[in-house]
Structure 1
Amino acid sequence: MNPIRRAAAWPSRVPGGRDGRRLLTIALIDRIGSGLWASVSVLYFTYVAGLSLGQVGTLAAVAGAVGIAGAPIGGRLADRFPLPRVLIAVQLLRALASFALLTTDHYALLVVFCALGGLGDRAGNVLTRLYATRIAGPDRVRYQAVQRTVANAGWALGGLAAAAALALGSAAAYRWLLAGDALSFVATALLTLRCGEPRSPSRKVTDSNSPRPTTIPPNPWRDSTYLAYVATDTVLFLDDAVFKVGLPLWIAHASSAPHGLAPLLLVLNNVLVVAFQVPLARFGATTAAARALLVPLSAAFALGGVAMAASATGETDAATLFLTAAAMLFTLAEMLHATISWELSVALAPDSAQGAYLGVHGLAQSAQRSVGPLAVTTAIATGPLGWLAFGSMIAVTCMIQRRLVNDRLAHGPLSVASITVSEH
């Protein structure tokens, strides 16, 4: 049974009840739309909008830089307003930004629209994750695993549809793919209208006749321990850059493996995540278990670096074997880190400022999108020793995070206390 049907067949086992199942549908539709657009966006700006290579690179960089702000902004808004309403607003912003791209080929406007889309994308990721956390409660890790499985399946479906559309080789095909992405955001907004407001410790309703407590929630920007955790998690997210940049460039420039291996390894990554993310999630269902997984995660990153380095020393068959092993090890690291990050980022945050804290944690993945390509291209330029250093650096960071989390938990979940003031 495929992952989407499996998730649909678990109505009594999916945490969050009806809203939990709706969120899985939202994730599927969202990722189908993303799969339609992500794989052809550079081609659209090149062949339809007529931008140069430098202009496309600048556009992507600006959109990524603006998008970094989306995570903390979305998290902060979610602590102050009903979460479904904020999520709907973000989805509509993404839809408008995508539709707007169809209306112009003016470079400045394209940059503005892409920046707005990037802002909405990063905010939407944090808000969706926060909603899942609140509706799933203690089962948040298992639910996030199911959601990620469904999202990966949706991404693959969108990518396949995009590949089929590109066979037409026309500008109209590119425009229809972009329109499909925009419509997916409209569809998710409509579905979110039916989602209820999850229980939130940071938003409480009190009797209008009773004294109203005003709570000053903890500020994640003043929580040095949590910020240090986010910094280490930024490093652990580098597996994403390995698949998007590292493997294709290494195969093309420093390996004797055939160039056609690169897309096959990306498919392997997707298949493994769909097949094993949910089963692996059970090993990180508690905070202590998630912390313990940092040890095997460290080993997976280190061995992945070794396999990448070894791929440069053999003939074609040996290089292919080592690269496949590296892809499997980095995929294992990706799945383990996802499980760990889902649990620790929530467990280390205070209930009264969950949205704000998860918004700051969202910066880890956003920052990695800028730092990651530089890190892997540096490893490639250095050669096999670069990959050994790359894997070792992340492995050491895993152990630093393990110690950091242990110290945090030993002193309680908060290093910054909340303040409550009663108004009479």
Structure 2
Amino acid sequence: MLAVTFVDRVGSGLAEVTAVLYFTYVVGLGTAQIGLLLGVSGAIGIAGPPLAGLVADRVPLRPLLVTVQAGRAVAAFALLTTTDLRLLLVVNAVASLGNRASSVLTKLYATRVAGPDRTRYQAVNRTVSNSGWAVGGLVAAAALTAGTTTVYRCLLIGDALSFVAAALLTLRCTEPASPTRAVAQGPRPAGPAAADATETQGTQTQGTKTERIKAQGTETEGAKAQATQPEGIKAQGTAAEGTGKPATVTPWRDRRYLLYTATEAALFLDDSVLKIGLPLWLITATSAPHQLAPLLLVLNNALVVLCQVPFARFGATPAKARRSLLPLAAVLLGAGAALAASAVGAPWFATGALLLAATAFTVAEMLHAAISWELSVALAPPQAQGAYLGVHGLAQAVQRSTGPLAVTAAMAAGPLGWLGLGAALAATCCAQRHLVRDADAPALSVAPVTVSEH
């Protein structure tokens, strides 16, 4: 799966650098039309994570991921076949849905394969992802020096082919065990005991022995469920008692998980700050040389590649992840202060402050990634991991749509705006720490339970 991630991100690096130029110089769209195209497709793409997570709890994960990759390839090729804005809106919306869905499905795959080591696996996966994006971006930057229509088309074809390659590589991966379908095979007992066991597990039968076993099993399972499920899930189970129907576990009724996801959307703002806020602030409000802007992005990428795996230890367990929220709050507050300070002083001072801010936001990015990977899974019941991670994926999707607005609003307020943003993010960390205060309880990180057929 790491190879899948690398190939996928190489293609993304090719496309992200090229797409806007292609729409401008080859398709002939104006600035407003490009904004409409990207804005509408981005908004539609928000539905990708919850839809993918919901489906992933009901069907095998590997073929679903292959299907999504194939759909992304078709959409990428389709972009090259039309210059009509309406068709481009449809195609780009499909591509956006696929991109967001793929991200959630990859995370779910890692969760099921890596088990307790999921945070470290995700750290390695993110390192590989950044490396792939850097390779794709460098190739695109070198190719775009020619600036011809053929080059633009070739780079986008490379993006489409990367999805084809990712789908083929995914076919070679093993299907991870799913908590909703995992069945442990055991030796079948012989003689009358086999019939009793089969009747107890599979069907309603007559006889006091069977009824007693069923009653004991129901009481035991209910007690375990009440002991291990988060508050939102307990409420769902209680509401379903007496109906004779199994309770449907859904994140949309889990108020704590929804609030947690809302705080996550704010903490993912580092992405917009690094990609949009820093370059614009450097150019419009500081005396630092403009050549520093791309170097700040290089610094961010290099630090993530070098340090994300070591940072995984801060989210190794739910308890460690919760404790790490306070250091994260301090780093975000300091990052905002550094950006505010960069508007004052000589070029050398502004340069130093911007480097410090970029480093601090990158540290916050890596620290939050480790915390988020652990808590988003630990707070989800095993039988609905896909649905819960799909809802959690909304945090990044919403941030990508609203983050630029929040960052530009902070910029408009000047240095005080950055101080205010840093303070707001620090307060969000403290609120999230209170929200997941029982995250160190064994109930939130129990291993999936498999049920034997015999």
TM-based fold match above 0.5 = yes
**1:225–1:408 contact (8 Å) kept in structure 2:** no
Equivalent residue, structure 2, for 1:337: 368
Identity of aligned residues (%): 61
The corresponding residue for 1:387 is: 418
Asked whether 1:352 is paired with 2:343, we answer: no
- State how far apart, in whole Å, the 2-side matches of 1:194 and 1:97 are: 23
Q: Paired residue for 2:31, among 37, 48, 53?
A: 53
> 2:70: which partner in 1?
92
Question: In the TM superposition, what whole-angstrom CA distance separates every residue of 1:230-249 from its partner, at most 9, and x where no partner exists?
Answer: 00011000000001110111
Question: Deviations for 1:320-355, whole angstroms, at most 9, x for unmatched residues?
Answer: 100000000000000000000000000000001000
The one-letter amino acid of 1:117's match is: A
Q: Report if the CA contact (8 A) 1:202-1:354 is conserved.
A: no
Aligned pairs (5 A) from 1:85-164: 85-164=63-142
1:225 corresponds in structure 2 to: 256
Shift of 1:39: 1.2
Give the deviation of 1:285 after TM superposition.
0.6
The change in CA–CA distance for 1:411 and 1:318 in structure 2 (over 3 A counts) is same
Q: CA deviation at 1:194?
A: 1.3
Scaled by the length of structure 1, what TM-score is found? 0.90
1:412 shift after superposition:
4.8
> Which position in structure 2 is the counterpart of 1:417?
none
Within 2, Cα distance between the matches of 1:378 and 1:401? 24
Residue 172 of structure 1: aligned partner: 150
Q: Which ranges of 4 or more aligned residues in structure 1 deviate by more than 3 Å?
A: 204-210, 212-217, 407-414
2:270 is the alignment partner of 1:273: no
Amino acid at match of 2:383: S
TM-superposed deviation, 1:203:
2.2
2:275 aligned with 1:284: no
Match of 2:364, as an amino acid? A
Looking at structure 1, the residues matched to 70 and 47 of structure 2 have their Cα atoms a distance apart, in angstroms, of 18
Contact 1:220–1:360 (Cα < 8 Å) also in 2: yes
Match of 1:400? 431
**Which of 77, 97, 102 matches 2:55?**
77
Structure 2 residue 226 is the aligned partner of structure 1 residue 248: no
Residue 211 in structure 1 maps to residue 202 in structure 2? yes
Task: Measure, in 1, the Cα distance between the counterparts of 2:439 and 2:116.
Answer: 20
Q: Distance in 1 between matches of 2:37 and 2:118?
A: 36
Q: Cα RMSD between the aligned structures?
A: 1.8
Partner of 2:437, secondary structure, is helix
> Which residue is equivalent to 1:264?
295
What is the aligned partner in structure 1 of residue 406 from structure 2? 375
Matched, 1:305 2:336: yes
User: 2 CA distance for matches of 1:409 and 1:153?
Assistant: 33
CA-CA distance at 1:370 after TM superposition: 1.2
Tell whether the 8 Å contact from 1:297 to 1:337 is kept in structure 2 after alignment: yes
SS of the residue aligned with 1:391? helix
- Residue 195 of structure 1: CA displacement? 1.3
> Counterpart in 2 of 1:294?
325
The 3 A distance-change label for structure 1 pair 50 and 136 is same
Residue among 32, 35, 40 paired with 2:13:
35
- Aligned residues of 1:265 and 1:327 also touching (Cα < 8 A): yes
Counterpart for residue 11 of structure 1: none
- Determine helix, strand or coil for the equivalent of 2:436: helix
Q: CA deviation at 1:206?
A: 9.1
Going from structure 1 to structure 2, the CA distance change for 1:199 and 1:212 (only over 3 Å counts) comes to farther
Distance verdict in 2 for CA 1:174–1:371, change over 3 Å? same
Matched with 1:197 is 175
Secondary structure in structure 2 of the residue aligned to 1:40: helix
Q: Find out whether 1:44 has 2:44 as its counterpart.
A: no
In 2, Cα distance between equivalents of 1:389 and 1:202: 44
| Aligned mates of 1:87, 1:374 — CA distance in 2 | 32
Q: Which amino acid is 1:180 matched to? A: G
Structure 1 residue identity aligned to 2:337: V
Alignment check: 8 A CA contact 1:206 1:212 kept: no
- SS of 1:218's equivalent in the other structure is coil
Give the secondary structure class of the aligned counterpart of 1:312.
Answer: coil
What is the distance in 1 between the residues matched to 2:157 and 2:60? 29
Distance 1:206 1:134 in 2: 16
* C-alpha separation in 2, matches of 1:125 and 1:49: 28
Tell me, in whole angstroms, the C-alpha distance in 1 between the residues paired with 2:442 and 2:133: 41
In structure 1, distance between residues paired with 2:90 and 2:289: 39
Counterpart AA for 2:426: A
Q: Is the 8 A contact 1:217 1:353 kept in 2?
A: no
1:275–1:411: structure 2 CA closer, same or farther, 3 Å change rule? closer
| C-alpha spacing 1:76/1:212, structure 2 compared with 1 (3 Å) | farther
Is 1:186 the counterpart of 2:164? The answer is: yes
Q: TM-score, normalised by structure 2?
A: 0.84
Q: Which amino acid aligns with 2:64?
A: V
The question of whether the paired residues in 2 share the 8 Å contact of 1:217 and 1:352 is answered with no
| CA distance in structure 2 between the partners assigned to 1:215 and 1:151 by the alignment | 40
Q: Which has the larger radius of gyration?
A: 2
2:217 maps to 1:239: no
